[in-house]
């Protein structure tokens, strides 16, 4: 119980941090030109700096939060602007599950993000998915904040 | 390690004498690939310390008894050089079980009176000779009766000296405990190097004691979950080669790799059927994964589950009739059992938390698993009907259990938590007796995970 509460708090902190970051992006964002950040339009760097390349999940879940949906909405708009770009979505997990279960869970998360983008009009042929389970953590540490960052689906330009 | 060595009671002495005398009469034959084993005639025996054998209702030294009172066994050096090395490996093998206490002893003809005074129940004597081709003689003696229990000469390439030693240790284990040993075996695993956030992973293999470790793949791609074919010299594993994560087979003799079956999603979590002709695995589809059986010869696949949930980590029962697997069809990841054709699915895990990575004991009577509760991992066993759950060890991460061939020991992966920047992270392989005693690490040169115990070599 305590653990769950801590988890929820930790997640809230991270999501808040992420929201701040993406809001900063968004304020320059909706009409932002890539040149403002020095990233080539339609590039990986552009995606990371001006759109947001990743969404986060709760423990053992693949539900897209409203924050995650906002990020994916921006990704869909960005992909509409650069129709020549194809992406890979990689699903990842924290290390609080078994290796094999997490491979499937990471794939489930990647698929959730892909399905959302497809529903927003991105052609399925432009999106590939992969799962790294718990073997490619974004954050090195083992605490609630790191785990929350590692439960993600990361979009990258192929 | 125990150092206290009680003298034998009369009852113990009589029981042991009966046991060892009976075993003396058993046929003697031991052979292993690359090794020639020939029986050695018994020397003249009995220096007056023996007791008469053969009373009915003879006692056994069971593994259970040895757990509470390790068997004191003297192993004098087989001689300088090669002999010393072989003696060391035999002693290390036996002590690694926690079932033996190895005593030193004077080389030469065994002094049974002195050995009995030391508390030794058995003594191993031997010699080693030769350079490129080695000849190793070993004799196992009953200290109480002075009788030879086993006498065998092994001839092999000197480069195979470790296998000679492991084979001798297996013979001693079997003679003393009445069960096959597991020392002449290997462990396939994943060698890990590099930072926590991007580990370089290589398929690797070593002897069960950690010697002769070497890698089999280059580390270019993420590589996970090796599994030994119980019949052939072959491993199934998962590779992210060309960014297409799939199950492959790896032939140890030729080094040939081959993708197993055709799957549109990720194929993963392979395990061989007991006859070595099929692999059961899972493949992702939609938001879940299904279990398939793939025929090795034809590549043909048969779908066993289609729950829409994550069904993974399948493992055959040793008779091939059932499959235990991991599924979140009920919400959280739990353990289920079904027939090998997919029918009669029933949940067997009901403890606190979620469960995963089930593996069936080669004896058939236990299923080892990983349990995750409150953010911590446990490694345990339960009976196939879900009763009798026992936790053997715990830690930040303890997972990927694999049984040794006789089912008495589990190897597993233990990982520590990482701090900022990945500091403090470690990944290694440990072993533990299935009763939860005598946990010990297998030393590896790099980080290690995903152990898979081979069958006995032969």
Domain ranges in chain B are: 10-177, 186-453
Q: In this predicted model, what pLDDT tens digit does every residue of B240-279 receive, in sequence order?
A: 999 999 999 999 999 999 999 999 999 999 999 999 999 9
Residue B30 clears pLDDT 80, i.e. is over it? no
pLDDT, tens digit (0-9, with 9 covering 90-100), for B180-216: 999 999 999 999 999 999 999 999 999 999 999 999 9
> What is the pLDDT at residue A36?
59
Closest CB to A132: pick one of B222, B269, B397.
B222
Lowest-confidence segment of A4-13, B369-378, B410-419, B438-447 by average pLDDT: A4-13
Residue A101: which of B224, B266, B313 has the nearest Cβ?
A: B313
Q: Which chain A residues contact residue B271 at CB under 8 A?
A: none
Tokens 């423990």 identify what position? A59
Report residue B401's pLDDT band, with 50, 70 and 90 as the boundaries: very high
Residue B307 contacts A, CB cutoff 8 Å: no
Do the domains spanning B10-177 and B186-453 agree at the CATH topology level?
A: no
Cross-chain residue pair A98–B415, CB shorter than 8 Å: no
Q: Nearest to residue B322, comparing CAs of B301, B296, B350, B343?
A: B343
Task: Reduce the DSSP state of residue B139 to 3 states and report it.
Answer: strand
User: When comparing pLDDT for B13 and B421, which is higher?
Assistant: B421
- Given strand B148-157, what is the order of strands in its sheet? B36-39, B148-157, B133-142, B122-129, B71-74, B100-103
From the CB of residue B80, how many other CB atoms can be counted at a distance below 10 Å?
A: 9
Compute the mean pLDDT over every residue in chain B, rounded to the nearest whole number: 89
Residue B458 confidence class, pLDDT cut points 50, 70, 90: confident
Answer whether A69 touches B (CB < 8 Å): no
The Cα-based distances of B196 to A14, A29, B417, B423, B425 in angstroms read 21, 33, 10, 8, 7
Distances (CA, A) of A85 to A25, A79, B244, B270: 20, 7, 20, 35
Residue B428 has pLDDT above 60, yes or no: yes
CA distance A131 to chain B (A): 8
* CATH code for position A55: 3.30.1330.60
**B319-344 tens-digit pLDDT:** 999 999 999 999 999 999 999 999 99
What is the secondary structure of A102-152 as a DSSP string? HHHHHHHHHHHHHHHHHHTT--GGGEEEEE-TTSS-SS-S-SHHHHHHHSE
Q: What does residue B403 show for φ and ψ, rounded to 5 degrees?
A: -85, 145
- From the CA of B421, how many Å to the nearest CA of chain A? 5
Q: Report the distance separating Cα B233 and Cα B272, nearest Å.
A: 12
- Out of B197, B199, B243, name the one closest to residue A138 (CB): B197
| Paired residues of B322 in beta bridges | B339
Residue B20 clears pLDDT 70, i.e. is over it? no
Residue span of the structural domain in which A67 resides? 2-157
The pLDDT score that the predictor gives to residue A1 is 38
pLDDT digits (tens, 9 = 90+) for A81-105: 999 999 999 999 999 999 999 999 9
Query: What is the rounded CA–CA span in Å between residue B360 and residue B317?
Result: 6
Residue B277 vs residue B67, higher pLDDT: B277
- Has residue A22 got a pLDDT over 70? no
pLDDT at A37: 66
User: Residue A111: its chain B contacts at CB < 8 A?
Assistant: 286-287
Is pLDDT of A11 > 50? no
B-chain CB neighbours of A108 within 8 Å are 284, 287-288, 310
Show the beta-strand stretches assigned E in B194-321.
200-207, 214-215, 223-228, 234-239, 246-251, 257-259, 267-272, 278-285, 288-295, 301-303, 311-316
Check CB contact under 8 Å for A99 and B224: yes
Do B197 and A107 lie within an 8 Å CB cutoff? no
Let me know if domain B10-177 sits in CATH 3.40.50.10070.
yes
Interface test with B, best of A11, A142, A146, A149 (most B CBs within 10 A): A142
CA distance A36 to chain B (A): 30
pLDDT at B108 over 60: yes
Tell me the shortest Cα–Cα distance from B392 to chain A, in angstroms: 17
Write down the pLDDT at residue A60.
83
The per-residue DSSP string of B8-22 comes to: PPHHHHHHHHHHHHH
- Cβ-defined contact of B266 to A130 (cutoff 8 Å): yes
Contact A99, A110 (CB under 8 A): no
A96 lies within 8 A of chain B by CB: yes
B409 touches B392 (CB < 8 A): no
Interface confidence, given as ipTM, is 0.88
- CB contact at 8 A, B354 and B333: yes
What percent of chain B has a predicted confidence (pLDDT) above 70?
89
Count of domains for chain A: 1
**pLDDT by residue (tens digit) across B68-92?**
899 999 999 999 999 999 999 999 9
- The closest alpha carbon to A134, from A104, A107, A88, A103, belongs to A103
User: Does position A19 have pLDDT exceeding 60, yes or no?
Assistant: no
CA distance B400 to B359: 9
Averaged pLDDT, A28-44: 66
CATH architecture of B186-453: 6 Propeller (2.120)
pLDDT bin (cut points 50, 70, 90) of residue B131 is confident
Cα distance from A3 to chain B (closest Cα, Å)? 6
Name the residue with higher pLDDT: B431 or A35. B431
> Does residue A29 carry a pLDDT above 80?
no
CA distance A145 to A125: 34
């Amino acid at each position: 119980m305590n653990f769950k509460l801590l988890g929820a708090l930790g997640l809230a902190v991270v999501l808040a941090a992420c929201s701040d970051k993406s809001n900063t992006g968004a304020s320059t964002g909706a009409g932002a030109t890539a040149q403002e950040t020095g990233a080539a339009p339609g590039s990986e760097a552009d995606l990371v700096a001006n759109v947001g390349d990743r969404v986060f999940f709760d423990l053992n879940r693949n539900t897209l939060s409203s924050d995650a949906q906002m990020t994916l909405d921006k990704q869909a708009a960005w992909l509409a602007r650069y129709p020549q770009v194809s992406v890979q979505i990689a699903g990842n997990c924290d290390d609080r599950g078994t290796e094999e279960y997490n491979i499937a869970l990471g794939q489930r998360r990647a698929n959730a993000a892909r399905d959302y983008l497809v529903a927003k009009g991105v052609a399925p042929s432009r999106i590939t998915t992969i799962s790294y389970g718990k073997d490619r953590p974004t954050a090195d540490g083992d605490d609630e904040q790191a785990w929350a960052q590692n439960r993600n689906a990361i979009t990258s330009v192929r | 390690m125990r150092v206290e060595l009680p003298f034998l009671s009369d009852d113990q002495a009589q029981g042991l004498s009966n046991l060892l005398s009976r075993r003396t009469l058993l046929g003697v034959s031991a052979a292993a690939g690359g090794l020639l084993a020939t029986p050695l005639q018994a020397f003249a025996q009995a220096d007056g310390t023996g007791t008469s054998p053969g009373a009915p209702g003879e006692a056994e030294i069971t593994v259970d008894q040895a757990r509470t009172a390790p068997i004191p066994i003297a192993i004098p050096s087989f001689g300088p050089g090669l002999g010393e090395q072989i003696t060391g490996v035999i002693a290390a093998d036996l002590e690694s079980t926690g079932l033996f206490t190895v005593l030193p002893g004077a080389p030469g003809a065994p002094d049974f009176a002195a050995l009995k005074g030391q508390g030794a129940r058995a003594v191993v004597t031997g010699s080693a000779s030769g350079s490129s081709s080695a000849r190793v003689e070993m004799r196992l003696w009953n200290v109480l009766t002075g009788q030879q229990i086993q006498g065998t000469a092994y001839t092999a390439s000197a480069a195979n000296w470790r296998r000679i030693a492991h084979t001798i240790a297996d013979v001693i284990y079997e003679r003393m405990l009445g069960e096959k040993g597991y020392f002449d075996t290997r462990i396939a695993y994943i060698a890990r190097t590099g930072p926590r956030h991007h580990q370089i992973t290589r398929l690797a293999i070593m002897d069960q004691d950690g010697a002769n470790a070497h890698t089999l793949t280059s580390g270019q791609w993420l590589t996970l979950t090796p599994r030994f074919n119980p019949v052939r010299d072959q491993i199934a594993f998962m590779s992210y080669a060309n960014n297409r994560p799939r199950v492959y087979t790896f032939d140890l003799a030729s080094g040939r790799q081959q993708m197993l079956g055709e799957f549109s999603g990720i194929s993963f979590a392979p395990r061989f059927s007991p006859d070595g002709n099929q692999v059961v695995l899972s493949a992702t589809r939609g938001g879940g994964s299904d279990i398939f059986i793939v025929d090795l010869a034809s590549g043909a696949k048969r779908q066993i589950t289609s729950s829409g949930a994550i069904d993974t980590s399948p493992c055959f029962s040793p008779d091939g009739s059932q499959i235990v697997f991991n599924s979140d069809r009920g919400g959280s990841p739990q353990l289920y059992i079904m027939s090998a054709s997919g029918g009669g699915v029933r949940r067997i895990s009901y403890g606190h938390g979620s469960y995963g990575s089930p593996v069936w004991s080669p004896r058939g009577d236990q299923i080892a698993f990983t349990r995750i509760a409150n953010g911590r991992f446990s490694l345990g066993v339960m009976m196939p009907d879900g009763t009798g759950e026992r936790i053997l060890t715990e830690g930040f991460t303890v997972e990927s259990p694999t049984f040794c061939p006789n089912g008495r020991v589990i190897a597993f992966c233990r990982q520590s938590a990482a701090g900022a920047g990945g500091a403090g992270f470690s990944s290694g392989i440990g072993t533990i007796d299935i009763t939860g005693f005598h946990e010990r690490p297998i030393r590896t040169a790099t980080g290690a995970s995903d152990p898979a115990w081979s069958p006995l070599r032969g």
